[in-house]
């Protein structure tokens, strides 16, 4: 390094005499650290915020506008109907029936998948041989694309050629029309349980966060494995379980799996979805793309959005007393 270069480096050091001589002009031209932090924050978050505005806020606002019209995408004479679509859906039995089915599906599938996922997580959290292999195998269904899962389940539960009925008839039982009413809803629930690996992975992460010494202390005090699980594991996992409940409810009322289980996973295939699987999102899809009622379907989606907000709020309200947040008290200071 030459003497001139060393001098140049020294000039850039904070507090150097060379720097101090030009302090006045630097104040006017260079932003302060706080400003730079603000700018960095906004620049880093800008892509997300712009994306959120473009791909979430703008479509939602557009859908809100559509929900006040009779727009069908192509006809020339659509018009503004105010709250007409919302009034209509209040009296639309198909809307409430499909919402009821979606709610029932959530009430059954969310607890079952959480229990199954937690059970699997507890099993593979134990020091067993080939634990990694089991974890991979159990998680594998969760990475299968839903379309592939739909095709697999359709073939598995086909009345005339499916493996499920193959087993039944082998043991002398009559075949069952799994993909038709009233059995179709059970197949739908099975698709959720089949992909419980997602829940399992999150629960497993939670389980590995539970301090081992608490379990050891409980064991020394004579607590049984069940008591230890109930009084230590579950409370410490409660934030994870709350997260799974909230996201599970949201995902289950929005499921389009019934469509993927239909013989044709297209607009035309909607018509072969059994009534027991005709859930709210299927109704919305049908109104949008089969009936071309963009306005009415947008109203349905806005109602669902508000209902999900309410449901999430209620879940938080009713679980506030039983969810244990393991927050470091020092962190609050």
- Residues forming the site for another protein (CB under 8 A): 28-32, 34-35, 38-39, 42, 46, 49-50, 53-54, 58, 70, 72-78, 94, 154-155, 158-161, 165, 169, 173-177, 179-181, 262-264, 267-272, 274-275, 286, 289-293
Taking a C-beta distance cutoff of 8 angstroms, is the pair 124, 131 a contact? yes
Min separation Cβ 88 and another protein, Å: 10
Q: How distant, in Å, are the alpha carbons of 41, 48, 78, 207, 247 from that of 122? A: 40, 37, 57, 8, 21
Instruction: Please give the Cα distance from 240 to 25 (Å, whole number).
Output: 54
Q: Which of 248, 245, 249 has the alpha carbon at shortest distance from 103?
A: 249
> What is the smallest separation between the CB atom of 308 and another protein, expressed in angstroms?
24
Taking alpha carbons only, the member of 116, 161, 170 closest to residue 263 is 161
Least distance between another protein and beta carbon 77 (Å)? 4
CB of residue 247 vs another protein: minimum separation in angstroms?
27
User: Which residue, 231 or 272, has its beta carbon nearer to another protein?
Assistant: 272
Spatial distance between the Cα atoms of 107 and 189, rounded to a whole number of angstroms: 11
Could you give the 3-state DSSP secondary structure of residue 282?
helix
For residue 267, the minimal CB distance to another protein (Å) is 5
* Separation of alpha carbons 215 and 237, rounded Å: 14
Q: What are the beta bridge partners of residue 80?
A: 69
Residue 38's contacts (CB-CB under 8 Å, 6 or more residues apart) are: none
Q: How far apart are CA 120 and CA 301, in angstroms?
A: 35
Min separation Cβ 266 and another protein, Å: 9
- Shortest CA distance to 287 belongs to which of 277, 278, 296, 299? 296
Half-sphere exposure of 130 (CA within 13 A, CB side): 5
- The smaller minimum CB distance to another protein, of residues 35 and 224, is found at 35
The answer to whether 138 touches 204, Cβ cutoff 8 Å, is no
What tokens were used for 101? Answer: 């089915």
Minimum CB separation from another protein for residue 51, in Å? Answer: 9
Residues 6+ apart with CB under 8 A from 172: none
Q: Smaller CB distance to another protein: residue 27 or 213?
A: 27
Q: Which is nearer to another protein, 2 or 160 (CB)?
A: 160
Distance in angstroms (rounded) separating the CA atoms of residues 285 and 306? 18
| Least Cβ distance, residue 147 to another protein (angstroms) | 14
């Amino acid at each position: 390094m030459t003497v001139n270069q060393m001098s140049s480096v020294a000039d850039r050091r904070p507090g150097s005499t060379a720097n101090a001589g030009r302090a006045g002009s630097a104040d006017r031209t260079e932003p302060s650290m706080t400003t730079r932090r603000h700018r960095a924050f906004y620049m880093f978050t800008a892509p997300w915020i712009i994306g959120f505005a473009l791909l979430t806020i703008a479509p939602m606002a557009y859908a809100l506008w559509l929900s006040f019209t009779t727009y069908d995408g192509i006809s020339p004479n659509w018009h503004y109907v105010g709250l007409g679509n919302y009034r209509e859906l209040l009296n639309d039995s198909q809307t409430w029936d499909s919402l009821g089915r979606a709610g029932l599906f959530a009430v059954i599938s969310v607890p079952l998948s959480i229990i199954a996922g937690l059970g699997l997580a507890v099993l593979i959290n134990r020091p067993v041989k080939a634990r990694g292999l089991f974890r991979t195998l159990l998680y594998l269904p969760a990475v299968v694309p839903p379309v592939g899962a739909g095709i697999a389940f359709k073939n598995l539960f086909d009345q005339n050629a499916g493996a499920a009925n193959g087993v039944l008839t082998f043991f002398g039982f009559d075949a069952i029309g799994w993909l038709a009413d009233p059995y179709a809803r059970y197949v739908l629930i099975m698709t959720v349980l089949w992909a419980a690996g997602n829940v399992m992975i999150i629960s497993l992460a939670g389980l590995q966060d539970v301090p081992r010494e608490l379990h050891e202390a409980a064991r020394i005090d004579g607590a049984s494995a069940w008591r230890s699980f109930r009084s230590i594991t579950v409370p410490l996992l409660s934030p994870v379980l709350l997260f799974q409940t909230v996201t599970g409810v949201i995902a289950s009322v929005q499921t389009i799996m019934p469509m993927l289980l239909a013989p044709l996973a297209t607009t035309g295939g909607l018509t072969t979805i059994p009534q027991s699987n005709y859930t709210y999102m299927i109704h919305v899809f049908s109104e949008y793309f089969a009936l071309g009622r963009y306005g009415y379907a947008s109203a349905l989606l806005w109602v669902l959005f508000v209902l999900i907000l309410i449901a999430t709020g209620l879940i938080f309200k009713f679980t506030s007393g039983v969810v244990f947040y393991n927050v470091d008290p020092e962190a609050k200071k």
